[in-house]
Structure 1
Amino acid sequence: MKKRVVVVGTILASALLFAACGRDSSSRGSNDKIQVTGQANDHQYQGVIQNGRYKTAKARGVDLSQDSGNQLNLKSFEDGMTALSQQQFSPKSYVFQEGQYLTKKTVTKWLGRKSKDNPNGLNPADNGQKDANKRNPMYVQQIGEQDYMKQDGNKLTLRGMTIGIGMNQKDYYEKEQYGPTFTTNIPTSTMEAKGREAAQTVLARVRKLPGVGNDVPILIGMYKQAPNDSLVGGVFYEYAVSYHGTDLGDWKQTDFQNVVFPATANHSVPNSNDEQSFENFKNKIQNFFPNLAGVTAQARYKGKQIQGMKVTITTQFYSETEITHFSQYVAQAAKTYLPAQIPIDITVNGANGQTQSVITRPADGGKFTAQVLNSY
């Protein structure tokens, strides 16, 4: 299995309403103009804008990506990091900034195998074995960083950080280039042990980065990658917070899980009422508009409580008026049937995979808004 490096970044800024401006203490004396965005609601972070542009992550896009991997993992990883961060760094008190301390070069090296040329690799050295049960698998799959700032007068100062570390349950590989794909299964106990080792190493390295220091709270979340054939992305399974130095504190379980609607034999639903709500929604729009190829959803749970839902609808519409009227009807049906007081994103795709419209509702359970995307 060919593996490549790709970079992870999450854009969390809401509408670009410039609420304040000042200098970023992490800019180390530069004269860059820093602004923060306004909040659409209390559940979203304000973001950082530098010289009129959104401040992107320095390691934007990097993970140890596999060509035929589960693309849902990246989105679930980013969403999960934010969900963990909201528990530690309240959106009411902190400003979100894309990771500025881990560079693309650094993360790329950390995600590699340990070798003479790459002594900082978090994955074990290649032992030359090709057998699935004898080779050293790649345990660490991706690393992400989010910075949390406090506004002190006209300055933004780093006051918290979240580091996400993605771990493999299965490592896909090829015995020869362009050959068939094989799989090394990694036991849960091994994955967790290797993950905690990696977390301790990463913490020690991050503390040494210029501008971080020993007293900035650092949350480290451990993420379990979903297998390539999974219908949902992975989840964060545990986290710990370091308040000083390299002391990581106690590990806490998250109780997060992702499920797919309609439910399958391999994915049960924690709350049957949510499943029935989705079925009612699905039946309503399928009865009204027969040209639908499919309606599916991914929901994120904490325990038995649903936290959010992403719905995908595949259509066979051709005219813009059909898409417009359908999107309006979907927004009405979603308000009536889907769970209340959670963020919901509904994407309407054509048979060719092109997005035709997007219907969204924020976390505070406000109104659904529909945006039809013009084809010209």
Structure 2
Amino acid sequence: MKKISVWLIAAALLFITGCTPNVNDEEVLQNDEAEEQTSIVPSYQLSEENYKMILPYRPSEARGVITNQIANRLDIDEMEEGLRRHSKAVYDPGKYFFEEGQYLKEDMVYQLITDLNPKIEKGSDKKVYEENPRYLSHILEQNFVEKQDDNSVELVGMSIGLALKSVYRFQTKTGGPYYYEDIPQSEMMEQGNEIAQEVVERIREMDGLQNIPIMIALYREQESGSPVPGNFVAKTNVAGGSASIGGWDEIDEENILFPSSEGREKYFDDHETVTNFGNEVAQYFPNYVGVIGDGFYINGELQKLTIEIPIEFYGKGEVVGFTQYTYGLVLDMFPDYFDLEINIKSSNKMESLIYREAGAESPTVHIFH
């Protein structure tokens, strides 16, 4: 991850200069999908773990659909970033370039969502809705392309993410009350498998996509008001030329809210660290509303802890002083085996950011002006 420059006015901290991308050695490529359309791939790469992206950036052909289909903004971000993260195991970032989906167009995505969910006639009673939940919220496409000898780029792989509901919300009539039905993960997985099979078959009917490998992953959404996102639960690879899904590989990921009863039960030590951190913050600002932590776990191991501190400030000096205080707490209280991000916010903007990569000796700090 690119380092963030430091702007902290405090004697105990050093200023750190952010790195500037060097884009002088850019590759100019021809995109096969458009007549004589020139694309540029900057030589600079944020890290070996990040994909290079073709410029000018081409938005998804289904741009905006995800915001209409998934209610929780956190789920949107986690689904997009998580699908790209899981794609790295299939499409090497050192070899392939990333593009947003260019094949599943807006009207096609909406039609697929309609076709793959149960059809319920208007005027049906509550029992009919309960027995026929809409499982599928969204279909997300990501593309991976490779530079050819003639400086063109060619699609070599596709990832598809299917957003599936954990809670089904419905109305039996317009203006009536909303009802909520929990969807067990086992039931969601069963339906997700059938939906994924149909999506693959539809993709194979599209021109030029018959022989493209497809990585497909199932994402379990959180309820709309959740302060933490959901997570991917399973993935599979479909070889080029195949339209059949075999077995699924289970994904052991979860986002855990701290403090919470679930966090205390599953990850007691991490829960206590966040709770104690909040108690220390309260000594500086007794009237603050409390910290909110999101722990991201893979196979039960904490990978990243994101903490949000909402506080009202009355001057930049307060921001600097509180950020310095929080920086000290980070050094004293948090082990360094996971990524740590602390966002200090007022009611209308981000005030400062403290970030530390796993294994780093000290955090990086940025105060926004």
TM-score, normalised by the number of residues in structure 1: 0.81
Q: 1:166 aligns with which of 151, 163, 168?
A: 163
The answer to which of 23-32 and 242-251 deviates more is 23-32
For 1:208, give the aligned amino acid: E
1:312 and 1:348 in contact (8 A); partners too: yes
Q: Distance in 2 between matches of 1:158 and 1:367?
A: 41
The answer to which of 335-344 and 139-148 deviates more is 335-344
How much has 1:301 moved relative to structure 2?
0.8
Alignment of 1:290-329 (within 5 A): 290=286, 292-329=288-325
2:142 and 2:160 in contact (8 A); partners too: yes
Task: Give the 3 Å change call, closer, same or farther, for CA 286–187 of structure 1 in structure 2.
Answer: closer
Q: Which has the larger radius of gyration?
A: 2
Instruction: Give CA deviations for 1:242-298 in whole Å, capped at 9, x if unaligned.
Output: 112213232110011110111x22445644443344344434433344453221111
Which secondary structure does the structure 1 equivalent of 2:87 belong to?
helix
The answer to which of 164-173 and 89-98 deviates more is 89-98
Q: 2:56 aligned with 1:60, yes or no?
A: no
Q: 2:195 aligned with 1:198, yes or no?
A: yes
Task: Give the 3 Å change call, closer, same or farther, for CA 175–311 of structure 1 in structure 2.
Answer: same
How much has 1:220 moved relative to structure 2?
0.5
2:27 and 2:43 in contact (8 A); partners too: no
Alignment of 1:39-54 (within 5 A): 39-50=45-56, 54=57
2:6 maps to none
How much has 1:305 moved relative to structure 2?
1.0
Aligned length: 346
2:363 maps to 368
Q: Distance in 1 between matches of 2:80 and 2:120?
A: 29
For 1:44, give the aligned amino acid: N
Alignment of 1:1-376 (within 5 A): 17-18=22-23, 20-36=26-42, 38-50=44-56, 54-63=57-66, 65=68, 69-112=71-114, 121-128=115-122, 130-135=124-129, 136-153=132-149, 154-214=151-211, 216-244=212-240, 245-262=242-259, 264-268=260-264, 270-290=266-286, 292-350=288-346, 352-362=347-357, 365=360, 368-374=363-369
Identity fraction in percent: 27
How much has 1:36 moved relative to structure 2?
3.6
How much has 1:197 moved relative to structure 2?
1.1
Instruction: Give CA deviations for 1:291-343 in whole Å, capped at 9, x if unaligned.
Output: 53221111111121112222111002121222233234434433543342543
How much has 1:141 moved relative to structure 2?
0.6
2:278 and 2:290 in contact (8 A); partners too: no
How much has 1:65 moved relative to structure 2?
4.1
Q: Distance in 2 between matches of 1:365 and 1:30?
A: 46
Q: Distance in 2 between matches of 1:22 and 1:211?
A: 24
Q: Distance in 2 between matches of 1:98 and 1:255?
A: 26
How much has 1:163 moved relative to structure 2?
0.6
Task: Give the 3 Å change call, closer, same or farther, for CA 280–24 of structure 1 in structure 2.
Answer: farther
Task: Give the 3 Å change call, closer, same or farther, for CA 30–211 of structure 1 in structure 2.
Answer: farther
1:271 and 1:305 in contact (8 A); partners too: no
1:150 and 1:158 in contact (8 A); partners too: yes
The answer to which of 188-197 and 58-67 deviates more is 58-67
Q: Distance in 2 between matches of 1:78 and 1:132?
A: 33
1:170 and 1:186 in contact (8 A); partners too: yes
For 1:258, give the aligned amino acid: N
Task: Give the 3 Å change call, closer, same or farther, for CA 15–91 of structure 1 in structure 2.
Answer: farther
1:64 and 1:111 in contact (8 A); partners too: no
Point out where structure 2 has 5 or more consecutive residues left out of the alignment: 1-18
Q: Distance in 2 between matches of 1:285 and 1:43?
A: 34
Q: Distance in 1 between matches of 2:331 and 2:108?
A: 45
Task: Give the 3 Å change call, closer, same or farther, for CA 130–343 of structure 1 in structure 2.
Answer: farther
Q: Distance in 2 between matches of 1:105 and 1:66?
A: 13
How much has 1:60 moved relative to structure 2?
2.1
Task: Give the 3 Å change call, closer, same or farther, for CA 20–349 of structure 1 in structure 2.
Answer: same
Point out where structure 1 has 5 or more consecutive residues left out of the alignment: 1-13, 113-120
Q: Distance in 1 between matches of 2:286 and 2:147?
A: 52
Q: Distance in 2 between matches of 1:141 and 1:194?
A: 12
How much has 1:198 moved relative to structure 2?
1.0
Q: Distance in 2 between matches of 1:340 and 1:24?
A: 44
1:118 maps to none
For 2:54, give the aligned amino acid: V
